[in-house]
A and B are shown apart, each in its own frame.
Chain A
Amino acid sequence: MSDIKIKRSIKGRRPQFFEDREIDRLHGMVMAMATEMAVLYQRIDTMERVAAHKGVMLREELEGFVPDAATEAERERWRQKFLDRIFYLYREELDDRLAHEDEAQYGKFLDEISR
């Protein structure tokens, strides 16, 4: 419909705040994710309020909800898997450590394979 190009990047070099630019990037990522969390929170809050207007006391019902043992177990599996995903780097490092792998060893292996 229109040929108008919307520009997303900012002209002017971005300042660096930390010695390690990755920390600057992490700040951006963490806050972008926090923003999305706020969006989700607001959606749920809206759902509860809209439901209340319709006479469905979702919030009270949710507060009063008592999960049975099977549900609890399922949730705990979900939580552990979720944590595992977040801590995947630690898991990999742990595997390396258990295998007594370090960067030098990888270099040696690289030489061995590539020559």
Chain B
Amino acid sequence: MGEQSNFFYAVPQGRHGMLVEPDRDELARQEFIRGFKAYIQSGVVPGIHASYHNEVKPAFERREGRAPRDRHEIRTLMVQHPLFRTYASLQRVSQELLWDTVLDSVERELPALLERAKTRNGGTPQGSLTLNPALPLPKYAVGVDIHCMPGGYGGEGGADDVTVGALYDRGVYLYALGMMGPMNDDIGGSAAKFVRDRYPQFKPRRILDLGCTVGHSTLPFVDAFPEAEVHAIDIGPSLLRYAHARAESLGKRVHFSQQDASATHFPDGYFDLVVSSILFHETSAKALPAIIRECHRLLSPGGMAVHGDLPPFWAMDEFNQFMLDCETYYNNEPYWGAMREVDQVAESVKAGFKTENVEFCMAPSAYRSSAGHARDFQAGEFAPGNAWQVLVTRK
């Protein structure tokens, strides 16, 4: 752990017509906080691994005559440990400071940002935006502010608001330490590349991205399948206004609409490809199976769904599970841990997919392979390893 190869100079975020441009001091703050987050990983986390494996675990084994059972038991031991407390506290502080400093830029640029969203930078509109103010916002998305982002996904500060998207766009880039690439699009980019490489004959006519937020991972599908009609849905109006303006400013045709992924308004069999990126872990025990069922309904015969997320728990040891699970307890990610225990294959079969058409695959990171930075996934940070885990279900 803490290998030097994990040190990575983040490329500057890719600009577009909607991105907030931090001023000099804001940029210095944001870069410091990104550096602080990276430092926690390289400077603090290795000590926690060492304390667990060299002190906490052996002491437990001497006392109990067995190893700690699971991540929950490891947690009861580690929350007593001073270094772990410091780590968890600093991690939380870094997350709070991150959003707060991005909000400074958003607040300062607000009038210009609203204007840019309205005029979409003067370009010719290509896609569309359909809001539904009557849509009930799912409790899992708005009960707490997920990953401590003030206002949450569903927030709306007033008519024409785009601040949630502006905050998310810049904040996620810093949160991911820039490791999802300059356009924050590595999950979508890797999934799109995966689909093209693995199924070269597959030519989707219509594509749907579920839980698209600002469209980070939607746009790579526009590039990968230029013939396809691309739709993207999410629940937050402010988020979607921003997503629409962002896509327009980048010249990408996407039809955004405000819909719940578990019950959309699209007809049966409307899509050949349904995708989602880091959506599953931000849903709930009830919503996840419903979303998988909805995918089955939406897919045409021969169509497929591809869902990308961070690794499930079975792909790592108990201690890394425990470290990853800190997000559940300290970063307002209530479904983060539980989702990684769900048998997604079984849920897909229940939803109507044939067992032989359901599989977990590794989609090599498109950005990291192109940038030539190999690294391992490290629990405790929100950044990919060399590949994204994708659930592929074919109808």
In the complex, what residues of B have CB within 8 A of residue A3's CB?
158-159
How far apart sit A11 and B332, CA to CA, in the bound complex (Å)?
A: 9
From A7, A18, A32, give the contact of B155 (CB < 8 A): A7
Q: Would you call A10 and B150 a contact (CB within 8 A)?
A: yes
Q: Would you call A2 and B150 a contact (CB within 8 A)?
A: no
Q: Would you call B92 and A38 a contact (CB within 8 A)?
A: no
B195 within 8 A of A: no
B93 within 8 A of A: yes
In the complex, what residues of B have CB within 8 A of residue A32's CB?
97
Chain B stretch 304-334: residues in CB contact (< 8 A) with chain A? 329-330, 332
Q: Would you call A38 and B110 a contact (CB within 8 A)?
A: no
Q: Would you call B93 and A43 a contact (CB within 8 A)?
A: no
CB distance from A16 to the nearest CB of B (A): 9
Q: CB-defined interface of A17-34 with B at 8 Å, one 1/0 digit per residue?
A: 110000110011001101
Q: How many residues of A contact B (CB 8 A)?
A: 30
Interface hit among B28-36, B200-208, B216-224, B275-283 = B28-36
Q: Known contacts A11-B144, A12-B144, A28-B93; is A38 also within 8 Å of B111 by CB?
A: no
Q: CB-defined interface of B19-57 with A at 8 Å, one 1/0 digit per residue?
A: 000001100110111001000000000000000000000
Q: Would you call A38 and B145 a contact (CB within 8 A)?
A: no
Q: Would you call B157 and A5 a contact (CB within 8 A)?
A: yes
Q: Would you call B90 and A31 a contact (CB within 8 A)?
A: yes
Q: Would you call A10 and B158 a contact (CB within 8 A)?
A: no
In the complex, what residues of A have CB within 8 A of residue B185's CB?
none
Q: Which of B31, B32, B144, B158 has the most CB of A within 10 A?
A: B32
Q: Would you call A15 and B32 a contact (CB within 8 A)?
A: no
Q: Would you call B29 and A38 a contact (CB within 8 A)?
A: yes
Q: Known contacts A6-B110, A31-B94; is A12 also within 8 Å of B158 by CB?
A: no
Q: Would you call A10 and B93 a contact (CB within 8 A)?
A: no
Q: Would you call A8 and B150 a contact (CB within 8 A)?
A: yes
In the complex, what residues of B have CB within 8 A of residue A11's CB?
143-145, 152, 332
Q: CB-defined interface of B69-101 with A at 8 Å, one 1/0 digit per residue?
A: 000000000000000011011101110110111
Q: Known contacts A8-B100, A15-B329, A17-B92; is A43 also within 8 Å of B107 by CB?
A: no
Q: Would you call B29 and A8 a contact (CB within 8 A)?
A: no
Chain B stretch 99-142: residues in CB contact (< 8 A) with chain A? 99-101, 103, 106-107, 110-111, 114
- Apart from the given pairs A38-B32, A43-B25, 12 other A-B contacts in the complex at a CB distance below 8 Å: A1-B110, A4-B160, A6-B106, A6-B151, A17-B86, A18-B89, A23-B89, A31-B93, A31-B97, A32-B97, A35-B36, A39-B28
A-B contact pairs, 12 of them (CB 8 A): A3-B159, A4-B114, A4-B157, A6-B150, A7-B150, A7-B157, A17-B88, A27-B90, A28-B96, A31-B94, A42-B28, A43-B25
8 closest residue pairs by CB, A with B: A12-B144, A38-B32, A17-B89, A4-B157, A42-B28, A7-B151, A4-B158, A11-B145
